[in-house]
Structure 1
Amino acid sequence: MRYRELGRSGLSVSEIGYGAWGIGESSWVGATEDESLRALHRAIDLGVTFIDTARGYGESERIVGRVVRERSADQVYVATKVPPKNGIWPAPAGVDPAEAFPGAHIRQSLETSLRASGLDHFDVLQFHVWSDEWMERGDWLETVAELKQAGTIRLFGVSINDHQPQSALRLVRSGVVDTVQVIYNIFDQSPAAELLPACAEHGVGVIVRVPLDEGGLTGRITAGTEFPEGDFRARYFRGDRPAQIERRVAALTADLGISTDELAATALRFTLSDPAVSTVIPGMRSVRNAERNTEVSAAGPLTEEQLAVLAKHAWDRNFYS
């Protein structure tokens, strides 16, 4: 496993982190707690030192906290998220920060997360949505500073609205945020235009989520793929989108000259090819996934020639609209 600096924080984290949404048994169907526990332990055995969870991920905080407490001899950093008080994802224009992240709500959410996890602090506390309209407004920044002073959090971050990397540029340039979490993958390369360079310039750590496009970049979604009732991917890949994915994956692998089995590793290496990225957090709901994803670190970044090919496969679409 290779390690990278998390922005200017002074923390060194595994470049392959652990995305813990899928193990919470909420929006993803099929996870079991026993297998999730084994996968988390195996990931740590293989060098993973960064785990990302959230208050809104069902049982995820509890499961993550249990493993981290059991692995107290290992250095493992845990990030969680505060959901917006108004319950609106993504953050729309015109919302006052007092409606989404008032200080009292931030504190209450953190206290709930600490109880659920059994931890005494989180290394990163992130707002689960963000709007640059909130800069210089509300009491969220003072609250974050007080929580840092109290030692219940180490760093402050935001999870940027899906497919809207430009919505946090003012925050990144302000110097008040330590990390940002953003969707960045072969299909959605938009963060590379402005956000990633801004983060590199201002020392902000970058946590990459959805590197495999919720499974679209694994090669396992085809025209006939169906998802169980209650699984969010049934909406994400609704209509003819599985067929669209299959066609685009076929073109992508043909252009690169790789097999479908090599696609997931290539997609992870793509995200890690930008030095502004601190860690990438694929979901790992099984031991086998933990082993496959962590071994990617040893392969290093893609070549300039490969990146040039992949630049042609950016896909301007939003699966939520």
Structure 2
Amino acid sequence: MNYRALGKTGLKVSEIGYGAWGIGQSSWVGAKDDESIQALHKAVDLGLNFIDTALGYGNGHSEQLVGQVVRERSEDTYVATKIPPKNMQWPAPSGISADEAFPADHVIACTEESLRNLGLETIDVQQFHVWSDEWVNQGDWLEAINKLKRDGKIRSFGVSINDYQPENAIKLIETGVVDTVQVIYNIFDQSPEDNLFPACQKHNVGVIIRVPLDEGGLTGRITPDTIFPEGDFRNNYFRGDRKQEVFNRVQKITADLNISADQMPETALRFILSHPAVSTVIPGMRSVRHAESNCQVGDGKGLLKEQLEQLKSHRWIRNFYKA
């Protein structure tokens, strides 16, 4: 496993991290706790040392599983989690004050709750689960973050940038108060390359990449006939003719690169890791098989320059999260 600096945090993190949304038993359907714990252990066995979870993933259930595994291991395994906005609005709408989303007492209370769920004394990276640059120099959230750092409850502070709004954190980055950002970046959504990544590199901010496989769209396994379990959020994400469109676009990618559909997950992850601004990428891994296949990509080798050039033409501007 290859390791990279997580910005100015002082942490060296595995380029393949563990995205723990899918094991929280909410939104993603089908996770079994025993299998999730086995997958987490296997990932750590393979050198993974960075796990990203959130208080909102199964109302703390994901955090509890992550904490159980981290406490059982002797290795240094870094945990990032997230504070849900008090108003429970995803993504952060414009015109909402910082005190409506992240008042200081809420920031501290949620952090304490996450620490109890995790069974840990310190959170390595505490993140806001949404962000709006309107909140820079507004409210008392920064006082809470600084207090949590002083008290040793958190080591570093980050934000999870609103879906498909990669530039809605650049103002925050320029203040110097944020240590990491988490953002959607994949073969389809290449927009963070335009302005966000240069800002992160300039200010030494760690970059955590989520949705690397487009919620399954870039795995090469979704066809027009794919059926998701009842209650699974992907029924909405891939509604209408979206499965057909994703299928067609993936076929064009495999044809351009002369690869098979089975090679799509590895190609998608290596595309992300080819960018020097990226610190780690956090695919979901609900099975030992997924942990094994994803972790083997973290070998420090990206895609060839020619392949990266070919993939530029597959940028696709759209927002599947919108209704």
Would the TM-score normalized by the shorter structure come out above 0.5?
yes
> Which residue number in structure 2 is paired with residue 44 of structure 1?
44
Structure 1 residue 119 displacement after superposition: 1.1
Q: Structure 1: which 5+ residue stretches go unaligned?
A: none
The Cα of 1:75 is off from its aligned counterpart by 0.7
- How many residues in Structure 1 have an aligned counterpart in Structure 2? 320
Which residues of 2 match residues 253-264 of structure 1 at below 5 A? 253-264=254-265
SS in 1 for 2:297: helix
Deviating above 3 A after TM superposition, structure 1's stretches of 4 or more consecutive aligned residues are none
User: Secondary structure, in 3 states, of the residue corresponding to 1:167?
Assistant: coil
Write the distance in 1 (CA, Å) between the matches of 2:127 and 2:138: 17
SS in 1 for 2:295: helix
Q: Corresponding residue for 2:70?
A: 68
Distance in 2, matches of 1:108 and 1:9, equals: 23
Structure 2 partner of 1:24: 24
**In the alignment, what sits opposite 2:169?**
168
In structure 2, the partner of 1:206 is 207
Match of 1:4 in 2: 4
For 2:247 and 2:221, how far apart are their aligned partners in 1?
9
SS in 2 for 1:188: coil
Partner of 2:276: 275
User: How far apart, CA to CA, are the structure 1 residues paired with 2:8 and 2:52?
Assistant: 19
What is the deviation of 1:10?
1.2
The residue identity in structure 2 corresponding to 1:12 is: K
Measured in 1, the distance between the counterparts of 2:251 and 2:152 equals 49
Report the Cα offset of residue 8 of structure 1. 1.4
In structure 2, relative to structure 1, the CA distance for the partners of 1:5 and 1:299 (3 Å cut) is: closer
**2:136 matched to 1:135?**
yes
Q: Is the 8 A contact 2:28 2:233 kept in 1?
A: yes
Give, in whole Å, the separation in 1 of the partners of 2:235 and 2:270.
27
| Secondary structure of residue in 2 paired with 1:22 | coil
TM-score normalised by length of structure 2: 0.98
- Structure 1 residue 299: deviation in Å? 6.2
Residues 53-92 of structure 1 mapped to structure 2, 5 A cutoff? 53-58=53-58, 59-71=61-73, 73-92=74-93
> TM (normalized to structure 1)?
0.99
Distance 1:258 1:121 in 2: 44
- Please state whether the residue corresponding to 1:165 is helix, strand or coil: coil
Distance 2:112 2:162 in 1: 24
Match of 1:285 in 2: 286
Q: Distance in 2 between matches of 1:194 and 1:11?
A: 24
The one-letter code matched in structure 2 to 1:68 is V
Partner SS for 1:35:
helix
The one-letter amino acid paired with 1:184 is Y
> Secondary structure at 2:7's aligned position in 1?
coil
Per the alignment, residue 195 of structure 1 pairs with 196
Hey, what's the Cα distance between the residues in 1 that align with 2:138 and 2:214? 34
CA offsets, 1:166-202, max 9 Å, x none? 1001011110000000000000000000001110110
**d(CA) in 2 for partners of 1:191, 1:167:** 11
Q: Alignment RMSD, CA only?
A: 0.7
Instruction: State the Cα distance separating 1:117 from its structure 2 match.
Output: 1.4
CA distance in structure 1 between the aligned counterparts of 2:209 and 2:161, rounded to whole angstroms: 10
Offset from partner CA, 1:186-227 (integer Å, 9 cap, x none): 000000000011101100000000000000000110001121
User: Could you report, residue by residue, the CA deviation over 1:126-152 in whole angstroms, capped at 9, with x for unpaired residues?
Assistant: 000000000001001111011000000
Q: Which amino acid aligns with 2:293?
A: R
What's the % identity of the aligned pairs?
65
Shift of 1:298: 2.1
